Amino acid sequence: MARVSDIDTEMIRANDGKQTNMMITSSGVEGTLETGANRCRNKHESGVSDEDLTTQDPWYSLLAFLNIGLYSSFFRFIGLCCSSASSSLDMAPHPPLTPDSPASPPSSSLWYHSSRIQRMIENQRMLEERGQFRTKVESEIEASKVTWTQIDATISQTEHSRKANREYFDLLKRRKYVRKGDQIVVKHEEQPDGHLFRDYDGLVVGQKLAEGGQAEIYEAVDQDGEDMVVKVFKAGTLLQDLETQWPAALMQVDDPKRMMPASIDGATLLQDPRMLDRFAFVMERQWGDLRTLIDQQMMRSHNRGPPFTPMQVVWLMLQIAEDMNMLHGQHPPILHKDLKAANVLVESPDPAPQQQQQQQQQQQQEGPVDDDGMYHVSVADYECSVGAEGTGLWRAPEILQQLKEEQYVSGSSGLMFSDKCDVYSFGMTCYELVTGRVPFEDCDFRQGCDLVLQGQRLQLPPDLDPCIHELILSCWALTPSHRPSFVHIIDVVTKKL
């Protein structure tokens, strides 16, 4: 594991010369924190206690003799660094905890410092100094790459997909998906069904807005002049393979009882020359995704504060939990398998015409808040969830274990997900909301995977509401059955509003 970085050493000195680890051990899920100088493992593994560090190091004897008040705290910290270096104790590369010293900067700023955001700030400054500028979209795409979904290896990428896609799309247009009991069955119609799969005459595709591991998002305008977006799957994606990734409940668009988050208007093959015959979902246009909003808020605070107020966090948690409960309540249930802030859309308020220009300026500066200062969001990117394999360390421990042992076959029959995997990822999404960070952002995947499987968990800010704190920790329980349901999550969060 990497040692404490320079920025960590500078920012997290405590009044008693100790640092508090950014990890919680498996017992820490019940509320026990591990403390000590540069520790990622338990004290008994190093063989050095806090008392040993104090009595064995000559710095402390010197400081006790001099007894020079404020300077003694400084030299005591230097002694502790020397002692910890000689004992070669490693600390997981993770953000600092709040310092206790009154002479330190405000504690809240240290809890919400993100090394990833800091790199974004520094890269932007460096480009500006060189006279090189990225567009807003280019910057957002570059920043989003850390959250890109792992692409299913069974999805074919071929140069000869255009003809095959046209033929298969004509078949899809004549399919009708109906319910029989708890099952969705397919009926073939003489004429195109016209519900989900259809031609979009007059659809004009504009500039790229965002990009992920499997698809790109472009702005669009339909024949009625409505602002839309198209989620365009990357060149060479075979539609026949892609169909295997769609949850059955998504196909049944004519069910009056069917309710889904993040409205999908339809699906089509594009006729734009830049992406001819590429498959796309056509969706209502929203402001953007929640991860982009978090990054924007963190940049505005100069990486020194939380992205949202406590009440905004609770409101966001409630909306995400309600949408997830809606997905799990489908027949058959839809497991998302890739829940994260980047897969949550932030809605744009609909202001009166005379307020539109002022509203647009406010959204550029503060994000799309409503009159009450709240954000409205909906869960997205579940339309290919059957074959989803998740993203990095948002995944539950049982999924990480399967990946580590390679006990799966990539694709729809691969990783064994349950609804409790989504609950764990919900907890990680909440971590993004309350800290502005991405999970284990200073670890590589293998390091972070080992930490999670050893029972260690991310730590949450101490000023977080105790009920919310306990709820998030319960979502990270190692045993899936010990994690709450979304019904329970909704009940707990609703009481905090």
Of 197-201, 243-247, 338-342, 389-393, which range is least confident?
A: 243-247
Q: How confident is the model at residue 46 (pLDDT cuts 50, 70, 90)?
A: very low
Q: Helix crossing, 70-86 with 58-66: angle to 10°? A: 170
Q: 395-421, pLDDT tens digit by residue?
A: 999 999 998 887 544 444 478 999 999
Q: Is the pLDDT of residue 135 over 70?
A: no
Which residues are paired to 205 by β-bridges? 220
Q: Which amino acid is at 405?
A: E
Q: Is the pLDDT of residue 31 over 70?
A: no
Instruction: Pull the structure tokens for residue 110.
Output: 């240290």
Q: 241-273, pLDDT tens digit by residue?
A: 888 888 877 776 656 556 677 678 889 999 999
Report whether 72 contacts 66 (CB < 8 A).
yes
Alpha carbons 126 and 78: distance in angstroms, whole number: 33
Omega of the bond leading into 332 within 30 degrees of 0 (cis): yes
Report whether 278 contacts 235 (CB < 8 A).
yes
CATH fourth-level superfamily of 161-284: Phosphorylase Kinase; domain 1 (3.30.200.20)
Name which residue leads in pLDDT, 130 or 233: 233
pLDDT at 140: 62
Radius of gyration of the chain (CA): 25
Report whether 475 contacts 424 (CB < 8 A).
yes
Q: Is the pLDDT of residue 6 over 50?
A: no
Report whether 21 contacts 39 (CB < 8 A).
yes
- The β-bridge relationship of strands 457-458 and 23-24 is antiparallel
Q: How confident is the model at residue 84 (pLDDT cuts 50, 70, 90)?
A: very low
Q: 335-367, pLDDT tens digit by residue?
A: 999 999 999 999 987 654 445 555 555 555 556
For the chain, give every residue range classified as CATH 3.30.200.20.
161-284
CATH of domain 289-494: 1.10.510.10
Contacts of 178 (CB under 8 A, 6+ apart): 184, 185, 187, 252, 254
Alpha carbons 284 and 260: distance in angstroms, whole number: 13
pLDDT at 456: 92
For residue 497, the tally of other CB atoms under 10 A from its CB is 8
Of 8-17, 208-217, 243-252, which range is least confident?
A: 8-17
pLDDT at 192: 66
* Alpha-carbon torsion (94, 100, 101, 104), positive or negative: positive
Q: How confident is the model at residue 119 (pLDDT cuts 50, 70, 90)?
A: confident
Name which residue leads in pLDDT, 262 or 133: 262
Alpha carbons 118 and 298: distance in angstroms, whole number: 9
pLDDT at 476: 97
Q: Give me the mean pLDDT over the 280-308 stretch.
A: 92
- The 3-state secondary structure of the chain reads CCCCCHHHHHHCCCCCCCCECCEECHHHHHCCCCECCCCCCCHHHHCCCHHHHHHHCHHHHHHHHHCCCHHHHHHHHHHHHHHHHHCCCCCCCCCCCCCCCCCCCCHHHHHCCCHHHHHHHHHHHHHHHCCCCCCHHHHHHHHHHHHCCCCCCCCCECCCHHHHHHHHHHHHHCEEEEEECCEEEEEECCCCCCCCECCCCCCEEEEEEEECCCEEEEEEECCCCCEEEEEEECCCECHHHHHCCCCHHHHCCCCCCCCCCCCEEEEEECCCHHHCCCEEEEEECCCEEHHHHHHHHHHHCCCCCCCCCHHHHHHHHHHHHHHHHHHHCCCCCCCCCCCCHHHEEECCCCCCHHHHHHHHHHHHHHCCCCCCCCCCEEECCCCCHHHCCCCHHHCCHHHHHHHHHCCCCCCCCCCCCCHHHHHHHHHHHHHHHHHCCCCCCCCCHHHHHHHHHCCCEECCCCCCCHHHHHHHHHHCCCCHHHCCCHHHHHHHHHCCC
pLDDT over 90 for what percent of the chain? Answer: 38
Q: Is the pLDDT of residue 138 over 70?
A: no
Alpha carbons 236 and 215: distance in angstroms, whole number: 11
Of 158-167, 215-224, 264-273, which range is least confident?
A: 158-167
pLDDT at 236: 83
For the chain, give every residue range classified as CATH 1.10.510.10.
289-494
Q: Which amino acid is at 178?
A: V
Q: Is the pLDDT of residue 334 over 50?
A: yes
Which residues are paired to 188 by β-bridges? 175
Q: Which of 185, 180, 7 is nearest to 109 (CA)?
A: 7
The pTM score is: 0.71
Q: Give me the mean pLDDT over the 422-427 stretch.
A: 98
Q: 427-472, pLDDT tens digit by residue?
A: 999 999 999 999 999 899 999 999 999 999 998 999 999 999 999 9
